[in-house]
Chains A and B, each alone.
Chain A
Amino acid sequence: MVELLSGGEMIARALEDEGVEYIFGYPGGAVLHIYDALFKDCKVPHVLVRHEQAATHAADGYARATGKPGVVLVTSGPGATNAITGIATAYMDSIPMVVFSGQVQSHLIGEDAFQETDMIGISRPIVKHSFMVKKAEDIPVMIKKAFHIAATGRPGPVVIDIPKDITRPDEKFEYHYPRSVKMRSYAPAQRGHTGQIKKAAKLLVSAKRPIIYAGGGVIQGEGSDLLTRLARELNYPVTNTLMGLGAFPATDRQFLGMLGMHGFYEANMAMHHSDVILAVGARFDDRVTNTVSKFCPGAKIIHVDVDPASISKTVPADIPIVGPVQAVLEELLAQLATIREKESDLPDQGALERWWKQIDEWRGKHGLWTGRRYGESKMIMPQQVIESLYRVTDGDAYVTSDVGQHQMFAAQYYRFDQPRRWINSGGLGTMGFGLPAAMGVQLAFPDKAVACVTGEGSIQMNIQELSTCTQYNTPVKIINLRNNYLGMVKQWQDMQYEGRYAMSTYEDSLPDFVKLMEAYGHVGMQVTQLSELDAKMEEAFAMKDRLVFLDIIIDPMEHVYPMHVAPNGSMKDMWLSKNERT
Chain B
Amino acid sequence: MILLAVNDLKCQYHTDGHTVNAVDGVSFNIEPGEILGIVGESGSGKTTIAISIMRLLADSASVSGTVFFDGTDLALLPETELDKIRWKEIAIVFQNSLEVLNPVMTIADQVIEPMIRHGMVSVNEARARCADLFLLVGLDEAWMDVYPHQLSGGMRQRALLAMALACNPRLLILDEVTSALDAFTRKEIRDLLVDLQKTRGYSMIVISHDITFVSSLASRLLVLYAGRVVEAGLTRDILNGPRHPYTRGLVHATPDIFIYKDLWGIPGDSPVGDRHKGCPFNSRCTQSIDICRKNPPLLQPCGESREIACHRGGIAMLLKAEDLRFSYQLPDGKALHAVNGVNIEVYEGEVLSIVGQTGSGKSTLAHILAGIINPDKGSVRFMNGNVQGGTMGDHFKGVQIVFQDPFSSTSNRFTVLDAVREPLDINRIGSPEERLNMAREALELVRLPSTGMFLKKYCGELSGGQRQRVALARAVVMQPKLLIADEITSALDVSTAANVMRLLKGLQNRRGFAMISISHDLTLTLKIADRIAVLNDGKIVETGNAHDVMLTPSDEYTKRLVGSRIGLCCHEHTNGEHDFLRDESQHYPGDANV
Q: Do A and B come from one complex?
A: no
Residues of B within 8 A of A (CB): none
